[in-house]
Amino acid sequence: MFSYRQIMLQAVRIAWKNKYLWFFGLFASLLSIGAEYQILMRAMSRSASLEWVYGWSNFFHSGIFSGRIFMNLGSLFQSDPAATSIALVMMLVVLAAILLLVWLAVVSQIAIVNNSDKIIKSRKDVAEVGLHQGLRAGANKFWSVLGLNVLAKILVNVLVLIVSLPLIFVFANRGVAGFVYILLFVLFIPVAISVSFLIKYAIAGVILKKEKLLPAIKNGWNLFRQNWIISLEMAFLLFVISFFSTIVIVIAALILAVPFVILAAAFLALFSAGAFWFMAALGGIVILVFIIACGSVLTTFQTISWTSLYLKLTGKGGESKLERIVPEKIKNIPVTVK
């Protein structure tokens, strides 16, 4: 029987018993597994919309796409070749680090989906798969999954930008601005959220069904269209779990910080300011590692849950909670068009 509780309990067991998946979850979290929540928050927040627009505006006006950058580099080489060479090397190192993170994020997303699929199908909570199998699957499907993630980012950001326009620009008539915002929100935010779900299913199709890019998008759309209520219910449940998990993580981090605060104060009184800052830095590192580890586990759990849902929907299918609570007499009313 289709059950959200079974799906999530299974995801918890798999994530806990296969701790190597946390490594993949660490990098997969860079792809914002809860994108549908961020879509709503950004569209409803004027400050978030302004920051997003100003960030992209500054990037495009930075001159990085201008031909003058090469002329400026030539002038810098002539005036101070050593410093310019060091700066270029540092820029290349930063670029290489960014590309490595992108590669790790996409490969990790693929690895969690691929390995959790094998674990679920084995009907056990542990299967004969590990880091190596995950990395190999990630390398094989890297470009298709990267393309889907890039497509999702472009489409969602464009749609959210359109919705945010009344919040970004000050209209003379606030009533008109409010009306336009509500109209755009109603029209485009459901589309943006639909794109987020579509991409989840398309990625699963590419990895698990070996589908090509365009067929995966088409099949992902059909799967979402047929199961949009289930998708929304699943997203809501995962949001609730993530929300309360975040509260627990924050409380745990604060409790973890208490001994470091006490020790830092004692070191300041007994030794020196240097000892105080050493203990404060050590506490900050420990808390940061704790928060990152918890985020990795949460991302792993969410990805496994979506993978399990995909397998259910493409297998025997499922019935949403709303459909289950609707009386059979209402569901079986024939619909005729005259």
Q: What is the pLDDT of residues 258-278, one digit of tens each?
A: 999 999 898 888 877 888 888
pLDDT at 54 over 90: no
Count of structural domains, the chain = 1
Instruction: Give the containing element (helix H, strand E) for 2.
Output: none
CB 195 within 8 A of CB 155: yes
Predicted confidence (pLDDT) per residue in 112-150, tens digit: 999 999 999 887 777 777 788 888 888 889 999 999 999
Q: Which range has the worst mean pLDDT, 64-73, 92-101, 103-112? A: 64-73
Residue 208's pLDDT is: 92
Domain assignment of residue 318, yes or no: yes
CA–CA distance, 73 with 67 (Å, rounded to integer): 10
pLDDT at 333 over 50: no
pLDDT at 63 over 70: no
Sequence-distant (≥ 6) Cβ neighbours of residue 252 within 8 angstroms: 290, 294
Predicted confidence (pLDDT) per residue in 156-178, tens digit: 778 777 777 766 565 555 666 66
Domain assignment of residue 333, yes or no: no
Predicted confidence (pLDDT) per residue in 291-314, tens digit: 999 999 999 999 999 999 999 999
Q: Which range has the worst mean pLDDT, 66-80, 137-151, 229-243? A: 66-80
Closest among 50, 37, 36 to 165, alpha carbons compared = 50
Q: How confident is the model at residue 66 (pLDDT cuts 50, 70, 90)?
A: low
Q: How confident is the model at residue 74 (pLDDT cuts 50, 70, 90)?
A: low
Closest among 139, 140, 186, 143 to 162, alpha carbons compared = 186
Q: How confident is the model at residue 216 (pLDDT cuts 50, 70, 90)?
A: very high
Domain assignment of residue 126, yes or no: yes
Please tell me what DSSP assigns to residue 19.
T
Domain assignment of residue 329, yes or no: no
Closest among 223, 193, 192, 228 to 208, alpha carbons compared = 223
Residue bearing tokens 């009386």:
327
Instruction: Give the containing element (helix H, strand E) for 317.
Output: none
Domain assignment of residue 338, yes or no: no
CB 12 within 8 A of CB 301: yes
Domain assignment of residue 331, yes or no: no
pLDDT at 21 over 60: yes
Q: How confident is the model at residue 190 (pLDDT cuts 50, 70, 90)?
A: confident
Domain assignment of residue 260, yes or no: yes
CA–CA distance, 168 with 114 (Å, rounded to integer): 41
pLDDT at 57 over 80: no
Domain assignment of residue 337, yes or no: no
Q: How many residues does the chain have?
A: 338
Predicted confidence (pLDDT) per residue in 4-20, tens digit: 889 999 999 999 999 99
Q: What is the dihedral of CA 86, 91, 92, 95, to 10 degrees?
A: 160
How far apart, in Å, are the Cα atoms of 1 and each of 184, 205, 223, 316? Answer: 39, 23, 19, 9
CA–CA distance, 268 with 276 (Å, rounded to integer): 5
Mean pLDDT of the chain: 81
- Most confident by average pLDDT, 86-95, 127-136, 284-293, 318-327: 284-293
> What residue numbers bound the domain in which 301 lies?
4-323
DSSP H helices in the chain: 4-17, 21-28, 35-44, 46-60, 68-79, 81-121, 131-140, 142-168, 174-208, 213-226, 228-270, 273-314, 321-325, 328-331
- The model carries a pTM of 0.82
Q: Percentage of residues in the chain with pLDDT exceeding 90?
A: 41
Q: How many other C-beta atoms lie within 10 A of the C-beta of residue 164?
A: 24
Predicted confidence (pLDDT) per residue in 137-146, tens digit: 888 899 999 9
Sequence-distant (≥ 6) Cβ neighbours of residue 7 within 8 angstroms: 234, 305, 308, 309, 312
More confident residue, 289 or 70: 289
pLDDT at 107 over 90: yes
CA–CA distance, 17 with 36 (Å, rounded to integer): 28
pLDDT at 332 over 50: no
